Amino acid sequence: GAVVSQHPSRVICKSGTSVKIECRSLDFQATTMFWYRQFPKQSLMLMATSNEGSKATYEQGVEKDKFLINHASLTLSTLTVTSAHPEDSSFYICSADRDRGEQYFGPGTRLTVT
Amino acid sequence: GQNIDQPTEMTATEGAIVQINCTYQTSGFNGLFWYQQHAGEAPTFLSYNVLDGLEEKGRFSSFLSRSKGYSYLLLKELQMKDSASYLCAVVDSNYQLIWGAGTKLIIKP
């Protein structure tokens, strides 16, 4: 099956710093990747849709200047949380869209901002 | 290792009932999610179970047995729009989401 990795799996950072999360499709090319965040015991919340070679599409209420997304290649998308604050602490999950519209999810990155 | 098993594909008839099973072996357990995902779209939340038993929500119900490492999603009065993939995901002891590969449900008239 298709494999999507995320790195790091866990990160702790200080308030005001920036954190970059990578999402890679390991055995297929993904023109579209999705970034989600999830608070404990809650559903996934779609943050943005990342398209290779173009600007990401952000969901309403998601600050694009705070959550920078770069999809520079068909196998890599990055999410950078800039000037992180404790309220940004969450579980961030990416998924990669294979052709035919099937999505494969990464294992997630747990961000803790102190 | 951690593992979530779901059938790859199921077929059912409009108006019928279908049960999608999910078995899991994970390091710890902090809840189980079911998601629905239509092709080309983001998944949508269906249910969350953390205690044993049946949770009913309209046409959809989800059951959990922690001792058996087992859950199922029950869909009643199937409609054509229910054709989608159904994802089972378990929250492990580190609050990491362990995802199943999904079950593609095909509804036939």
Q: If pLDDT is split at 50, 70 and 90, which confidence band does A22 have?
A: very high
State both tokens at A43. 């559903």
Cβ–Cβ gap A110/B94 under 8 Å: yes
pLDDT of amino acid A25: 92
Does the pLDDT at position B50 exceed 80? Answer: yes
pLDDT of amino acid B64: 98
pLDDT of amino acid B39: 72
Chain B, 6 to 65: residues with Cβ < 8 Å from chain A are 30-31, 33, 35, 37, 39-45, 48, 50
- Residue-wise pLDDT for A61-107, tens only, equals 999 999 999 988 899 999 999 999 999 999 898 988 776 556 678 88
Beta strands in A1-114 (DSSP E): 4-7, 10-13, 19-25, 32-38, 45-51, 57-58, 67-73, 76-81, 90-97, 103-105, 109-113
Does the pLDDT at position B71 exceed 90? Answer: yes
Average of per-residue pLDDT values in chain A: 87
Is residue B8 within 8 Å of residue B31, measured between CB atoms?
no
